[in-house]
Amino acid sequence: MDNAIDQSINLKTAQQLIVNACGALGEERIALAECLNRFPAKALTALEPLPGYNQSLRDGYAVARGESGGAGEPAKSFRIVDEVAAGDTRNLALSPGEAVRIMTGGLIPLHCESVIPQEDCEVVNDTVGVAATALGLNNTFIHAQGSEIAKGELIVPQGLAISPEQQILLAGVGYETVPVVRKPGVSFFCTGSELLVATEERRAGKKYSANSHLLQGLIALAGAELQEQKSVQDDPDAVAGILGDMSRSGCDIIISTGGMGPGKFDLIEEAFSRVGGKVIYRALNLRPGKSTLFGVIGRTFFFGMPGPPPAVHLLFNELIQPAILALQGAKRCVPKEIKAYLREDLYLPRRGLPRLKGGFLSFKDGNCVVRPSKRGEAANCYIVCPATRRHLRLEEKVTVHLFRLSPDLG
């Protein structure tokens, strides 16, 4: 036991080992509509300029070039020769003295000086009269081709998840499909002869596996693809069999729950080494996390998680989510670390190991404040509790780790 702690490493080292081990996966092309929160396979640059053509910013009249007015000059008049609705793709050209009626978004004709908004125009039959002062202004009400984004300009850097703002720009510069890093495929199995499987009847001695439900949800929320899930008895042959099958199935990550730590039925590490797995680390200097293992079987990463579901939830956020992000080439993989003021005293059961405790972060008049979350309450962060402390004080500034996606920041 003491020996295990001696071999243990701290959380930051573990996260670094994970992120370094997990290089970006291969590329796939997906529809633009599906790209939100996905990671680009390479930096995405403008395929075409934005706007793609000169377009009108107003409903009004596009008037011919060479008719600049001035403060002293009388109104000019133009002969209305055509009408351009938005979506009209004809390449019209204006001769001197001509104008076309044009709608917002309409394609500007060649030899156009500017668009005169309709409220500045006086139309009589097929002639439009324009105040001289409305001509030769700085604002031509023309949204010029490429004035927002030049062809080749950077839209999405590598390593950042595509945001709605970037998706809008990608649509504007010609993307219909987007090259992204494929989603990591994750398989998991829950060990425990006490776990009820499928439709087995509930009775004393057996329980439902909260972990299998939990992991399905967390894997989807984390942006990975659930490949396969199993429950397995506390039997070394069965566990080795599943580990072998899953690693050969081509998934990127395998997760197990339970079967870790000292004891008669602690079988994960034995089965793992039997199928040729290589341990990268086998214990964290952290509570929870003393019994957790990270390694590789061939090209598949393996996370051995402890049995208690709250520990699985925490370690998923701190260890597996970073792996899922790293496998997609994310620049920032580990939970964001921020400072917050404690809203209440926090007592810890004992010293000896650093501890992460579920917290509820909220904001009060410009300050970040945090308190331990209650049992069964949704945490939105973890509070870092140093090994040397048993009492963290009200108002004290503590470090918290944010969840990546938190629907309910306080």
Interacting positions 360-379 with its own copies (CB under 8 A): 363, 365-368, 373, 375-379
Identified binder of its own copies from the candidate list 40, 49, 51, 329, rule CB under 8 A: 51
Question: Phi, psi at residue 20, to the nearest 5°?
Answer: -65, -35
> 157 to 176, contacts with its own copies by CB under 8 A?
160-161, 163-169, 171-172, 174, 176
Identified binder of its own copies from the candidate list 20, 139, 193, 249, rule CB under 8 A: 193
The residues facing 228 across adjacent strands are: 187
- Cis peptide bond upstream of 309, omega within 30: no
H or E segment at 309?
Answer: helix 309-315
Binding mask 326-365 for its own copies (x = CB under 8 A): ----------x-xxxx----------------x----x-x
DSSP string, 199-248: TPPP-TT-B--HHHHHHHHHHHHTT-EEEEEEEE-S-HHHHHHHHHHHHH
Identified binder of its own copies from the candidate list 16, 45, 104, 273, rule CB under 8 A: 104
The CB-of-62 to its own copies minimum distance in angstroms stands at 13
Rounded Cα distance between 215 and 186, Å, is 10
Closest CA to 182 of 34, 297, 298, 384: 34
Identified binder of its own copies from the candidate list 206, 274, 343, 389, rule CB under 8 A: 206
Strands (E), 233-387: 253-257, 278-281, 293-297, 300-305, 337-342, 346-347, 355-364, 367-372, 381-385
Near its own copies by CB under 8 A, which window of 7-15, 50-58, 63-71, 297-305?
50-58
Binding mask 5-34 for its own copies (x = CB under 8 A): --------------------------xxxx
The CB-of-329 to its own copies minimum distance in angstroms stands at 15
**Binding to its own copies by residue 391, rule CB under 8 A?**
no
**Binding to its own copies by residue 405, rule CB under 8 A?**
yes
What one-character DSSP code corresponds to residue 88? Answer: -
> 208 to 267, contacts with its own copies by CB under 8 A?
208-210, 212-214, 216-218, 220-221, 233-234, 263-265
